[in-house]
Structure 1
Amino acid sequence: MSNKQGKRYSEEFKRDAVRLARSSSKTVTEVARDLGAAPRACGAGSSETRSTSTRSP
């Protein structure tokens, strides 16, 4: 049996990814993919990210 673990990212990396998404027209998921990270690694889908990363028109 293998204990499969994904790559760990620092809290700073995650914050910067969310900040980048907020300051652009991209979602956290898009930014994460652009950075080569799994969207969940940057908090995409978490309630905290959803409540703070919604874009206004």
Structure 2
Amino acid sequence: MAATHGDEFKRDAVRNALTSGLTRRQVASDLWVGLSTLGKWIRAISDEAKVPDRDADLLRENEPGRHH
């Protein structure tokens, strides 16, 4: 059975993914959620919040397949 995470958990996960300096993969692993799940949360919450340009840049930098 899949785990159900509350909105606060999801917001915290997205905040960590955007500001911690870790990759999405690292954040997802630390939180025991799938990478694709974290990506869905980031897209959903970013769309709701109309992500500032600086955070949108961070989102793009952390996309799978992008190397720094």
By the TM > 0.5 criterion, same fold? yes
TM-score of Structure 1 vs Structure 2, range by shorter chain: 0.5 to 0.7
The normalised TM-score by structure 2 is 0.50
Does residue 35 in structure 1 map to residue 35 in structure 2? no
- Structure number with the higher helix fraction is 2
After TM superposition, the structure 1 = structure 2 runs for residues 1-57 of structure 1, keeping only pairs within 5 Å, are 5-42=1-38, 44=39, 46=40, 48=43, 52=56, 53-55=59-61
- TM-score if structure 1 supplies the norm length? 0.56
Bigger CA radius of gyration? 1
CA RMSD of aligned residues (A): 3.2
- Structure 2 unaligned segments of length 5 or more: list them: 63-67
Question: Is the alpha carbon distance of 1:12 and 1:28 closer, same or farther for their aligned partners in structure 2, counting shifts above 3 Å?
Answer: farther
Aligned length: 51
